[in-house]
Amino acid sequence: MIKIKAIQENPKVGDIKGNTSLVENHLNLAKKEGIDLLVFSEMFLSGYPPEDLVMREDFLDEIQKSIEQIMPQTDGISLIFGAPLKKNNTLFNAAIFLQDGNLKDTYFKQILPNYKEFDEKRYFATGSENKIINVNEVSIGLSICEDIWSETFVDKIIDDGAEIILNLSASPFTTSKKETRVKMLLEYYEKYKRPIIYVNQAGGQDELVFDGSSLVLGNEKETFKILKSFKTDSLSFMYKDTKFIFENSESEAKPDKLEDIYKALVLGTKDYVQKNGFNGVIIGSSGGIDSALTTVIAHDALGKEKVKTIMMPFDFTADISIEDAYELAKNLGINHSEISIKEMFESFSKSLSESFEGLKTDKTEENLQSRCRGVTLMALSNKLGYLVLTTGNKSEAAVGYSTLYGDTAGGFSVLKDVSKTLVYQLSTYRNTISKVIPQRIIDRPPSAELAPDQKDTDSLPDYDRLDPIIEMYVEKDKSIQEIINKGFDEVEVRRIISLIDFNEYKRRQAPLGIKISDRNFGKDRRYPITNAWKP
């Protein structure tokens, strides 16, 4: 019989001392609670993903010192956590097993993911040996993240005598992954009749969000416990007579898809701002739905004191846009101000008039309005130490419906992986919690308001047609003909795909943003800018 505690924490990449302190604090508490085995997630000491930090010898030396610092504190208890570790001058993604003050064993990850956001073969060598550790005469088979997604691997550690399957994970959130994980682990439990401990980290790291949602399976009555999503959490339980015995602990209810996405965006925003030490955020509030949703997410992530919105009207800004931006700020209790860009625009126009002489007014003047707003926001950012959150969505990024150094100016893009259709759904969802987004913002046709009576649909198809085309081409790699076969107009499909391909250069210059889809613009989808291939 053993008493186990799974720790779902939010380690910070590069903060070796801070992450070590988290281990030590939980370790001291676990000893008081009579825990036999304490378990943390993948690469815990370094944070995940550490990227090229693991190429630095001084970084790896600090990791080694931390392991040696923790080791004597494990007298009377067993501890497992993840860390980058060198052996014979070869770097591995390792699980460190400490017991009774000693380094009892190490396990090296055998299946290294190298797709989408994962790039582990750049850094780590492949482990070659299964490891079964022993705690109170119970045999536990070790695995790290991707390992457990291989049924062949699980077969082998069962054959090696694992009574419990333990997985240390750092698995980023996507809209489909949580459900897939639960389904896979339940199938394993049904097939092998072995309890499973799956410990995932929680928190935001650059564009990635780790949802936690750790799982403990192994009781026929309750089947499994799931830890909180998008929060730090822990779970203590007993292993006795081939089963886990859960104490009086609640398992998270099955979440709603929109709720999960919204929480991911809030956590990703919160951790990016706070972990990077910004004083708060500034948002250009246009009275439109994208800036409204971005503002509400920032408010929920950081609190009203840390969010400032700026309305920057011009000749084409509707009165209702000014009114709705003000009402949104009032509903949230955030600081809101108005700075006209008219004089700035006229000054730029005067300076450029000689160069523009004889040329017709066109999108140049429209984009100049957006760039005046970008300059204003960045000046405030410099002066106040606040991060500018851009408000563009995935649909706009896909087809280049944005202005470089204008509405793309900023440090973090909350909605970068959120389609326009999903923006509306999330806004409606958030209003079910508390009605803070004025309904008129949700109901109005979207517009950049850079020209008289301008609407998005002047340049783009309706979003209910545009977004499925983007999803099929960008996320699912469907061909033009496959998309047309789904009932879409050929001329429209070819135009949209041409825009997607052409605007790669814009996307490369836009700020990073939170990934929620199975394939985002960025690490997931890496297309050359200079590219003569046409589908």
Asked whether 106 and 94 are in contact (CB, 8 A), the reply is yes
Helix (H) or strand (E) holding 190: helix 177-192
If one counts every other C-beta atom within 10 angstroms of the C-beta of residue 356, the result is: 14
Residue 107 has φ and ψ, to the nearest 5°, of -120, 135
- Look up residue 442 and give its two tokens: 């949700």
Contacts of 504-510 spanning 24+ positions with Cβ under 8 A:
504/528, 504/529, 504/531, 505/529, 506/397, 506/400, 506/402, 506/404, 506/408, 507/397, 509/404, 509/408, 510/390, 510/392, 510/397, 510/402, 510/408, 510/413, 510/416
Residues 6+ apart with CB under 8 A from 51: 13, 119, 123
Rounded Cα gap, residues 446 and 57, in angstroms: 52
Rounded Cα gap, residues 331 and 191, in angstroms: 52
Rounded Cα gap, residues 225 and 219, in angstroms: 9
Residue 485 has φ and ψ, to the nearest 5°, of -65, -15
Asked whether 193 and 225 are in contact (CB, 8 A), the reply is no
Rounded Cα gap, residues 95 and 80, in angstroms: 7
Give the strand pairing for 215-219 and 223-226.
antiparallel
Residues 6+ apart with CB under 8 A from 215: 181, 182, 185, 196, 197, 198, 224, 225, 226, 227
Question: Looking at the DSSP assignment, which residues form a beta bridge with residue 8?
Answer: 233
81 to 9, 27, 78, 484: CA distances (angstroms): 11, 11, 10, 50
- Look up residue 15 and give its two tokens: 């903060």
Rounded Cα gap, residues 2 and 230, in angstroms: 28
Helix (H) or strand (E) holding 210: strand 208-211
Residues in the chain: 535
**Active-site amino acid positions:** 42, 109, 145
User: Closest Cα to residue 396, out of 526, 506, 269?
Assistant: 506
Rounded Cα gap, residues 514 and 273, in angstroms: 12
Rounded Cα gap, residues 295 and 309, in angstroms: 8
Cα 413 off chain centre by: 12
